[in-house]
Amino acid sequence: MRGLFIVLEGCDRSGKSTQCHQLVKQLQAKGYSAQYRNFPNRTTQTGKMIDSYLRQATELDDHAVHLLFSANRWEAMNSIKDTLESGITLVVDRYAFSGVAFSSAKGLDLNWCKQPDVGLLSPDVVVFLDLSIDEAEKRGGYGEERYERRELQTKVRNQFMKLKDDTWKVVNAAQSAEQVEKGIWSIVEAALSTSTNQRKSLLYSLWK
């Protein structure tokens, strides 16, 4: 049976990366093969351009950087597909939802933002770690990277809400790390329990 394609989304400081790593560990402890992936993947050619932009070392047009983020996902699709088909579950830290939420928060048209990601592999589960901007700021404030500003993060959160559909599961990220972990695990456990026949085949059908 193929692996599950799990995506964690949320604003900066919501604990996504920590929870992704915890989830991989928990899956492995239960005997599942699981791996962590993240977007942007800063190691590829597109990823290096994105990294430089995020560190504010270079400037790029908003549309251009949006397309780079999308290309950074497209170039990973074959590898993601092969990995899932080999039976490995993937826990992915951000996906196209971040792409659209951030670029549209900067003022680009939301529908325009979705287009380059239309047809990516559809995740089986999207877990949204929900944290208010006040709570996020209490966690030691934002860092130095572009986008790590209260005003923009507030807009990003609003945009995320517009993308949320009934396939999303929301977990209150203001809880303790252990409680968040439990909340995520109960969602993942339900998804893992689908039998071979029930698990829908992998489709390049995001937003189609």
* Residues that bind ligand TMP in the complex, under the rule CB under 6 A: 12, 39-40, 54, 69, 94, 98-99, 102, 147
Q: How far is the CB of 98 from ligand TMP (least distance, A)?
A: 4
Q: How far is the CB of 25 from ligand TMP (least distance, A)?
A: 19
Cα-to-chain-centroid distance, residue 6: 9
- Backbone angles phi and psi of 128, in degrees to 5: -100, 120
3-state SS, residue 2: coil
| Burial track 113-132 (b if 16+ CB lie within 10 A, e otherwise) | bbebbeebbbbbbbbbbbbe
Task: Kindly list the distances between the CA atom of residue 169 and the CA atoms of 114, 128, 130, 149, in Å, as whole numbers in the listed order.
Answer: 20, 6, 10, 26
Q: How far is the CB of 199 from ligand TMP (least distance, A)?
A: 26
Residue 2 vs 69, nearer CB to ligand TMP: 69
Closest residue to ligand TMP in the complex (CB): 99
Q: How far is the CB of 94 from ligand TMP (least distance, A)?
A: 4
Residue 12 vs 181, nearer CB to ligand TMP: 12
Residue 32 vs 168, nearer CB to ligand TMP: 168
